[in-house]
Amino acid sequence: MSTITANYRFHPKDPSRSATGLVVGVGLHIVIGYALVSGLVRDIVKVIKKPLDAAVIHEVKRPPPPPPPIVFEAG
């Protein structure tokens, strides 16, 4: 029995899927490059950056637990 056989059911992938991915990737790089060159990123960063308010939160100290009740034995 030979292990090398022809696979007649082989179907190559659709090349249009590769082309679509390539076009989307190139388009995304063009848009990001334009945004970096034109300075749009600085405006977006100004909107995102807002003054931060720092607040000090003090730890709340719990009171000590009450002492255990004293039990008197009848005897």
pLDDT tens digits, one per residue of 21-73:
899 999 999 998 888 888 776 777 776 777 777 788 888 889 999 998 888 87
Residue 4: its pLDDT value, please?
66
Q: Helix, strand, or coil here: 5? A: coil
Provide the domain count of the chain.
1
Residue 45: its pLDDT value, please?
72
Give the helix, strand, coil percentages of the chain, each rounded to 5: 45, 0, 55
Residue 27: its pLDDT value, please?
96
Per-residue model confidence as pLDDT tens digits over 1-14: 556 666 677 777 77
In a domain, 39, yes or no: yes
| Residue 23 structure tokens | 């076009």
Beta carbons within 8 Å of 40's beta carbon, 6+ residues apart:
34
In a domain, 53, yes or no: yes
In a domain, 65, yes or no: no
In a domain, 51, yes or no: yes
- Give the chain's radius of gyration (CA, Å): 36
pTM for the model stands at 0.40
In a domain, 4, yes or no: no
Domain assignment of residue 27, given as a range = 19-58
